[in-house]
Structure 1
Amino acid sequence: MEHMDDNPLFGVDSNSDSSSADGDAPVITPPPAAVLQTVNIKSHVPVVLELAEPNYDEWRCFFDAFIDKFSLGSHLSSPPTHAQRRDPEWRVKDQSIISWLYNSIAKDVRDIVRKPRATAFAIWGAVQNQFRDNQLHRAG
């Protein structure tokens, strides 16, 4: 059986006691940025988010699972700190997420949410706002 620290995609957090709060499972850290750059989003998110087809919920389920698989949720859940923006490893991870977002959404959606020098948090928020606003409009 392969140990997690033998797999380059996952490592045990060296800043922890290698266990979770309940003491059973190791704490998993995100893979190195160099590994993330090689991940093909289409292998994990087979749905392309489109404006014309109401598939946001399906796309979102795949994308959430993908992000959770690599322990990268913090890039989408909170804006980056000044220190994170200056950290090369953090920036490469964030740019990988942006690339995955852009490559899993249709051009018409990209045209709406694309922003120069944006963070994954900003693009993620723009996607959510676009589809949340549309869902509310259709429901009203």
Structure 2
Amino acid sequence: MPDSKSSSFHPALAVSNIRNFIPVVLETENVQYGTWAELFKIHARSHRVIHHIIKPEAGKGPKAPSTDDEKELWSTLNATVLQWIYSIISNDLLTTILEPDSTAMAAWDRLHDIFQDN
């Protein structure tokens, strides 16, 4: 039976370079938001972290973390997804959406708002 440390390895943690999976860099001048967002969502689904950017419907999706280990894993995955977002957007967008102690979902929503307002 695997111990809790080995069973907590998550497939999202194996991604070392998001640009290998999503070659589109989101920029304000060259608006490819729809393409970029769809590729990102596919990647997030395939790595089981879609709930870090899109709130699941009530009763669906993973349950809220309750143990310290689950909370630590959630925090690590959130930071991983946030790094993915920050790695594939332009510097201008990065400085626009970057906020201390942000979550991946908040950054995702800020980008959505920027491009849906245009």
TM-score class, shorter-chain normalisation, is 0.7 to 0.9
Of residues 68, 89, 97, the one that matches 1:113 is: 97
Of residues 59, 64, 70, the one that matches 2:36 is: 59
Max Rg structure? 1
Matches of 2:75 and 2:53, distance apart in 1: 13
Q: Is the 2:12–2:49 contact (alpha carbons within 8 Å) kept by the matching residues of 1?
A: no
Tell me what 2:54 maps to: 77
Q: Is the 1:84–1:91 contact (alpha carbons within 8 Å) kept by the matching residues of 2?
A: no
Tell me what 2:13 maps to: 37
Matches of 1:54 and 1:84, distance apart in 2: 41
Query: Displacement, 1:83?
Result: 4.7
Long gaps (5+) in structure 2? 1-6, 57-63
How many pairs align?
Answer: 103
Bigger relative CO (Cα 8 Å, ≥ 6 apart): 2
Long gaps (5+) in structure 1? 1-10, 12-30, 135-140
What fraction of aligned residue pairs are identical, expressed as a percent? 25
Q: Is the 1:84–1:90 contact (alpha carbons within 8 Å) kept by the matching residues of 2?
A: no
Supply the RMSD in Å over aligned alpha carbons.
2.5
Moved over 3 A (4+): 81-86
1:101 aligns with 2:78: no
Give the TM-score normalised by structure 1.
Answer: 0.65
Give the TM-score normalised by structure 2.
Answer: 0.76
Tell me what 1:8 maps to: none
